Amino acid sequence: MTFRTKLFVVFMLALLLSIGVVAVGVAVVTRRAFEESNRQHSEALVTQFEREFAHHEQEVTNRVQGVADAEATVAMAIALSRPKADVSVYVNDARGVSQSHQLDFLDFIASDGSIISSNEWPARFGYKIDWITQPQDWSGAGSFLMKVDTQEGPALGLMSVSTVRVGDKDLYVLGGERLGKDFLASLVLPEGMRALLYLNLDPNFQPTNLVDEAGTVTEGERLASIVAEEQQNPSKRTFKVAWTPDPASAEAFHALPLLGRQKEVLGVLLVGSSQREEAALERRILLLALGVSAMGLLFGLILSWWGAARVTRPVRKLAEGAREVSEGNWAAHVEVRGRNEVAQLALAFNKMTQQLTEQRERLVQAERVAAWRELARRLAHELKNPLFPLQTTVENLQRAKEQNFDQFEEVFRESTGILLAEIENLKNIVGRFSDFAKMPQPELGPVNLNDVVRGIVKLFEAQFGAVGRPPITPELHLEEGLPTIQADATLLHRSIENLVLNAMDAMPAGGVLMLRTTHENGNVDLEVSDTGTGLTPEETDRLFTPYYTTKQHGTGLGLAIVQSVVSDHGGRIWVESETGVGTSFHIRLPQKPPQRPAAASSPAGESATAESAAGAEV
């Protein structure tokens, strides 16, 4: 991931986080605000209902009192107070009076508690209602809830009792209003709210007893548990019901128990507030928030991308420059804008590359000088060896001609032989230098490195156990299934050969030559290790410098050639060594070498002028 991408991601994450926090915060706050508003609304409604209920109670009390105060009722009471009064005359009175006073329930009850006339159950005349005679005084008792027996079955009524006393006889007027759908319809409820009434007239929950202003409520069973709870433990409580999986269908309820005179639960009023609006509004807010967030994210995305690009541009330039430098273009230059840290970094980078370039140039020059010097030394050394015998031989010839003319022929013959051999030697030295100077480009093909290693070991097998030489034990740790690599088999063979030869040279007293192949991450690794004398760190640093050698003999080009070959294959070679322990050469080759790199400004390249120098093994 690039820095720009990282920065962009960080920007986006930060933005997302911020937006997310804000959105969640808004949602939470909104929801809480709605819930609070809803709660207040519901509480207000409950309070309103309680007020209305109290108003109804008073109305019922007034109406019943109105019946008791009516002339006809007083006349009835007077007539019934006489001995042997005929109550049958009044058996049908309740119906007409209840209609005129808008009462659903009305009973005229004699002093002994027997029903004189009943509107809700006309056939019950004569039957007794004992409880009505219990209180001595009904005035001030107000209204109360009661289970009323009617012809059609039990009903819930808001009732009141008034008495008309004549002498020592009381005429009781028991009247009231039915609590049911009509009562609910009389309540003024705001939009989105409704009232349900459960008539607790049966021991078990009966869905048909749950009514709203339209009649029986469908899916009333959903509220059975709430009703049961109220029956067990009557108190005001709130709860929510989700009618469908859609949150908009949810409804918040306030449950109010309706208690009778004996504090028994006669009904449960459920004031419901639809959550549809809240859910819709929430959804709208959410959608808006999402929209804004998306817009913000998009904007942020663009801005972040632009910002990241802008911020990372100098860094990218720096990175590009660094990459160029890593690729060898030490003259990479980064544009400097501004004066911030990045600009300063760019400046520093430019300075660094400049210095690097200069240093490299100096180094190159120095290396070139050193290489020239080394080459000159090696040349001098190499050439000196054959040149001395040449000189000696020529001097011998001169001497022989001058001093020993009769042996001159023989001396001449011997000397010319020596001269030719040494000239041949010189030619070899020149040839090797020439080879190094003109290293061929590898011709790639599939190569199994294990096969190459095995071939090389077999080639040197005889030399490992040569007579008169301490034995060298080869150890092969070749990974099975090593993937083939694209390489020039010949060049590779020569390079590994060089390494083996070097290892053998590093173990004059014998030892172990270990060859290991592995592969990892698309690369094939070869390790050539010996248990020789090892190298010092300084030797290690200069090991791959052309013409550098630790041997007495050699051109010092072997490892340089190996390095060159490895480099041409897109690989890498490094060495690990410890004096007295041994040395390990590591070669890493890609399975598919990259594009042929540009002509490297390597000492070997730059020292094209040294091509004429003969290649020699280090």
Binding site for another protein (CB under 8 A): 87-89, 91, 121-127, 151
Residues whose CB falls within 8 Å of the CB of residue 556, separated by 6 or more in sequence, listed in order = 374, 378, 545, 546, 547, 548, 549, 616, 618
Q: Which is nearer to another protein, 79 or 297 (CB)?
A: 79
> Are residues 89 and 110 in contact, defined by beta-carbon separation less than 8 angstroms?
no
Closest approach, Cβ 125 to another protein, in A, equals: 5
Q: What minimum distance in Å lies between the beta carbon of 207 and another protein?
A: 23
Q: Residue 122 or 328: which CB sits closer to another protein?
A: 122
For 433, the token pair is 């230098």
- Closer residue to another protein in complex, CB, 120/367: 120
Q: How far apart are CA 368 and CA 606, in angstroms?
A: 8
The enclosing H or E element of 445 equals: strand 445-447
Q: Please say which residue, 114 or 518, places its beta carbon nearer to another protein.
A: 114
At residue 92, φ and ψ (nearest 5 deg) are -105, 5
Smallest distance from the beta carbon of 129 to another protein, in angstroms?
A: 14
Closer residue to another protein, CB minimum distance, 130 or 137: 130
Residue 473 near residue 513 (C-beta atoms within 8 A): yes
Closest approach, Cβ 171 to another protein, in A, equals 17
Residue 506 to residue 532: CA distance in whole angstroms: 5
Please report, for residues 154, 197, 330, 598, the alpha-carbon distance to residue 601 in angstroms, rounded to integers and kept in the order given.
110, 97, 11, 9
Token digits of residue 145: 């809830």
Residue 116 or 610: the one with the smaller Cβ distance to another protein is 116
**C-beta closer to another protein: residue 126 or 338:** 126
Secondary structure of residue 126 in the 3-state scheme: coil
CB of 127 to another protein, least distance (A): 7
CB 89 → another protein: shortest distance, Å? 7
The CB density around residue 315, as the number of other CB atoms within 10 Å, is 19
State the Cα–Cα distance between residues 352 and 349, nearest whole angstrom.
5
| Cα end-to-end distance, the chain, whole Å | 44
Gap between the Cα atoms of 423 and 274, Å rounded: 112
CB of 178 to another protein, least distance (A): 19
Per-residue burial over 582-598, b if 16 or more Cβ lie within 10 Å, else e, is bbbbbbbbbbebeeeee
Q: Which is nearer to another protein, 151 or 609 (CB)?
A: 151
Residue with tokens 């709210």: 193
Residue 116 beta carbon to another protein: minimum distance, rounded to whole angstroms: 9
- CB nearer to another protein: give 127 or 388: 127
| Residue 461 neighbours by CB under 8 Å, 6+ apart | 474
Tokens of 399: 């001497």
Give 8 or 125: the residue with its C-beta nearer to another protein. 125
Of 87 and 581, nearer to another protein (C-beta) is 87
The residue among 16 and 85 lying less far from another protein, judged by its C-beta, is 85
Residue 151 CB, nearest distance to another protein (Å)? Answer: 6
Amino acid, single-letter form, for residue 521: N
Cα–Cα dist 152/160, whole Å = 21
CA distance 253 to 354: 80
Q: Which is nearer to another protein, 56 or 124 (CB)?
A: 124
- Can you tell me which residue has the tokens 């202003």? 213
Please report how the helices 276-326 and 341-403 are oriented relative to each other, as an axis angle in degrees rounded to 10: 30
Query: Closest CB to another protein among 18 and 88?
Result: 88
For residue 173, the minimal CB distance to another protein (Å) is 19
Residue closer to another protein, measured from CB, 121 or 243: 121
Least gap, CB of 76 to another protein (angstroms):
14
Q: Could you tell me the maximum CA-CA distance found in the chain, to the nearest angstrom?
A: 195
Q: Closest Cα partner for 150 from 108, 104, 181?
A: 104
The rounded distance, in Å, linking the Cα atoms of 218 and 129 is: 36
Closest CA to 173 of 243, 266, 80: 80
Q: Are strands 105-109 and 237-242 parallel, antiparallel or unpaired?
A: unpaired
User: Cβ of residue 42: shortest distance to another protein, in angstroms?
Assistant: 43
Minimum distance of another protein from residue 132's CB (angstroms): 18
CB of 150 to another protein, least distance (A): 11
Neighbours of 21 (CB within 10 A): 10
DSSP per position, 141-210: --EEEEEEEETTEEEEEEEEEEEEEETTEEEEEEEEEE-SHHHHHHS---TTEEEEEEE--SSS--GGGE
3-state per-residue secondary structure call for 183-201: HHHHCCCCCCEEEEEEECC
Least distance CB 220 / another protein (angstroms): 26
